[in-house]
């Protein structure tokens, strides 16, 4: 029997129990074939479910039109996690899909979204249904600590409430639990949260089918019991019992050990060695990020990375997380400069309102306004003009503005071209020289708000010597190529190979109909390439 025949059989019956009844009645070799195909079917089902849930995959839209292919959505997922964008379900991609993670999608066109910030800085929270895995007092302590972590790096403050109308309601539930987003059982989706807003907005739900613990891979350097022996020493009670395969005296293997022996009470602690369970503090801290308006980040070091991994709880927030929360909830006291929000966002929602320019700019600038360069940078759009910069965030009308050096102190010259490389969480800002027209342009690499190292010559991209300046640039994340525009020509740079593609440069007018004047800026957004021709903008679908 061939695998194809088996697959047809599986497709015909459509039932798991029928598959096993069928297996009983065939030979060993055929059983292996059927089981292999059955495993492939289960894997494919997981694959489709994952892309539907976290990347908005639909075979057809409500109007019956065909949507983007499964392979195309898979490339989006692979791009988000920094994998090779093959469009195929390889072992690396499958491993990511099987990793326990947050239930909030990585794309933004989902009904969880209710807004992206609270309009107040003092928020109430309440714990409704508790988990049976931990004492209520321990849950209360971990929840308070997770919120306090965000309070320490932002102007936000959190007040415990016992009302069901608190801004942030925390609850544990299984399967269908009242919000139309059912959990999926152990070791799948751990929790989910809702953006700030009324009603369910800001609420955080944990899957009660998971095993929740009070610590995992956590720092315990301040434990009073660390390094003590099995006898009563240094004023501690004697203890003889083992815990999860390790002696109680191995302080570095747990968290919350301080005070255990003084108060004669046992706290649930997950060992550093491989054991079941998820650190409630880690997961809660991540979900509260969503409840405050943060999206998922592509940066594995960010707390807002979608998948769960055990980590030390000391200095849990990355610099990116701290910058992002402060861009949303900045203090009323004006800072010397503002940091851009940097967590990458999938481009689904409109990034302009009635115009390609930020509202604040449109209101006070002439209709003929043009920009030197435009780029996405995380969840923001950066507009450069002369030595000036405007920053507009998705779905928000507020615009930050000021001299470029206020945001990036190392840069004082105008930016001729710029592009954002999400897989590296880096922006590349290209600038010519204002003092010597014969000198070649150079570029800076920017991560976070930090300009990394010195500027480099554009020759490192592979431009020939006669190319002195770049007019515009845009990165097409779906093809991992960056397009550079120079006068009437454009170049295609492969970010994986770090080399220009063969058969380039090409004439801009040959591939972009309607371009009859120099391109001043370019940006790739929503799957379209936008070319700025002075105050005009042309939009192209990039295949």
The residues carrying an active-site annotation are 287
Give SS3 for 255. coil
Query: Is 249 annotated to bind ligand?
Result: no
Query: Is 192 annotated to bind ligand?
Result: yes
Question: For residue 175, is it left (φ>0), alpha (ψ between -120 and 50) or beta?
Answer: left
- For 140, the enclosing helix (H) or strand (E) is helix 136-152
Beta bridge partners of 393: 380
Query: Is 510 annotated to bind ligand?
Result: no
Distance of CA 175 to the CA centre of its chain: 25
Phi, psi of 108, deg, nearest 5: -110, 0
Query: Is 289 annotated to bind ligand?
Result: no
Q: What CA–CA distance (Å, rounded) separates 371 from 387?
A: 11
* Residues 476, 82, 43, 108, CA torsion sign: negative
Beta bridge partners of 485: 472, 490
Q: What CA–CA distance (Å, rounded) separates 481 from 497?
A: 10
Query: Is 502 annotated to bind ligand?
Result: no
Query: Is 133 annotated to bind ligand?
Result: yes
Query: Is 472 annotated to bind ligand?
Result: no
Residue 178: other Cβ atoms inside 10 A: 10
- What is the 3-state secondary structure of 6-20? HHHHHHHHCCHHHHH
Query: Is 167 annotated to bind ligand?
Result: yes
> Cα torsion for 179, 200, 110, 379, to the nearest 10°?
-150
Bond preceding residue 505 cis, omega within 30 of 0: yes
Query: Is 185 annotated to bind ligand?
Result: yes
Query: Is 538 annotated to bind ligand?
Result: no
Beta bridge partners of 539: 530
Query: Is 296 annotated to bind ligand?
Result: yes
Query: Is 481 annotated to bind ligand?
Result: no
Query: Is 201 annotated to bind ligand?
Result: yes
Query: Is 179 annotated to bind ligand?
Result: yes
Query: Is 290 annotated to bind ligand?
Result: yes
Degrees to nearest 5, angle at CA 60 with 90 and 13? 70
Query: Is 499 annotated to bind ligand?
Result: no
Are the C-beta atoms of 143 and 125 separated by less than 8 Å?
A: yes
Query: Is 416 annotated to bind ligand?
Result: yes
- The binding site comprises 102, 133, 167, 177, 179, 184-185, 192, 201, 203, 205, 207, 210, 286, 290, 296, 304, 372, 416, 418, 473
- The binding site for Zn(2+) comprises 102, 177, 179, 192, 205, 286, 290, 296, 304
- The binding site for Ca(2+) comprises 133, 167, 184-185, 201, 203, 207, 210, 372, 416, 418, 473
């Amino acid at each position: 029997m061939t695998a194809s025949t088996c697959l047809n059989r599986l497709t015909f019956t459509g039932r798991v129990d029928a598959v096993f009844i069928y297996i009983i009645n065939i030979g060993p070799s055929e059983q292996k074939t059927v089981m292999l195909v059955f495993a492939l079917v289960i894997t494919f089902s997981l694959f489709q479910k994952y892309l539907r849930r976290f990347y908005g995959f639909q075979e057809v839209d409500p109007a019956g039109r065909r949507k983007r292919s499964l392979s195309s959505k898979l490339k989006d997922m692979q791009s988000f996690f920094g994998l090779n964008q093959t469009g195929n379900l390889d072992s690396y991609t499958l491993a990511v899909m099987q990793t326990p993670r947050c239930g909030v999608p990585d794309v933004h066109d989902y009904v969880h979204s209710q807004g992206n910030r609270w309009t107040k800085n003092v928020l109430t929270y309440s714990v409704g249904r508790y988990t049976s895995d931990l004492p209520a007092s321990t849950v209360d302590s971990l929840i308070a600590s997770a919120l306090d972590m965000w309070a320490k790096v932002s102007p936000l403050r959190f007040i415990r409430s016992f009302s069901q109308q608190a801004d942030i309601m925390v609850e544990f539930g299984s399967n269908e639990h009242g919000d139309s987003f059912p959990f999926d059982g152990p070791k799948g989706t751990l929790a989910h949260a809702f953006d700030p807003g009324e009603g369910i907005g800001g609420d955080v739900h944990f899957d009660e089918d998971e095993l929740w613990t009070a610590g995992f891979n956590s720092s315990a350097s301040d434990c009073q019991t660390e390094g003590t022996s099995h006898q009563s020493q240094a004023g501690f009670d004697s203890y003889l019992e083992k815990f999860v395969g390790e002696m109680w005296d191995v302080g570095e293997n747990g968290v919350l050990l301080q005070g255990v022996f003084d108060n004669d009470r046992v706290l649930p602690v997950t060992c550093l060695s491989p054991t079941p369970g998820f650190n409630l503090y880690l997961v809660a801290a991540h979900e509260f990020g969503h409840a405050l308006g943060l999206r998922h980040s592509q940066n594995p070091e960010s707390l807002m990375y979608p998948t769960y991994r055990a980590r030390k709880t000391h200095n849990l927030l990355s610099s990116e997380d701290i910058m992002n929360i402060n861009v949303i909830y900045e203090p009323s006291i004006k800072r010397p400069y503002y940091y851009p929000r940097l967590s990458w966002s999938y481009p689904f929602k409109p990034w302009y309102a009635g115009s390609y320019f930020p509202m604040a700019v449109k209101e006070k600038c002439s209709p003929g306004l043009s920009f030197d360069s435009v780029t996405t940078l995380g969840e923001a759009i950066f507009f450069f003009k002369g030595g000036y910069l405007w920053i507009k965030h998705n779905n928000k009308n507020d615009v930050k503005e000021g001299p470029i050096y206020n945001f990036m102190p190392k840069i004082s010259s105008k930016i001729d071209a710029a592009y954002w490389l999400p897989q590296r969480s880096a922006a590349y800002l290209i600038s010519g020289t204002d003092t010597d027209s014969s000198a070649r342009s150079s570029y800076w690499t920017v991560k976070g708000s930090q300009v990394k190292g010195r500027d480099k010559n554009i020759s490192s991209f592979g431009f020939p010597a006669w190319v002195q300046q770049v007019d515009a640039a845009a990165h097409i994340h779906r093809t991992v190529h960056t397009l550079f525009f120079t006068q009437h020509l454009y170049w295609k740079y492969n970010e994986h190979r770090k080399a220009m593609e063969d058969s380039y440069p090409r004439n801009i007018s040959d591939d972009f109909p309607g371009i009859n004047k120099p391109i001043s800026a370019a940006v790739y957004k929503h799957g379209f390439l936008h070319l700025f021709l002075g105050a005009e903008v042309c939009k192209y679908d990039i295949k």
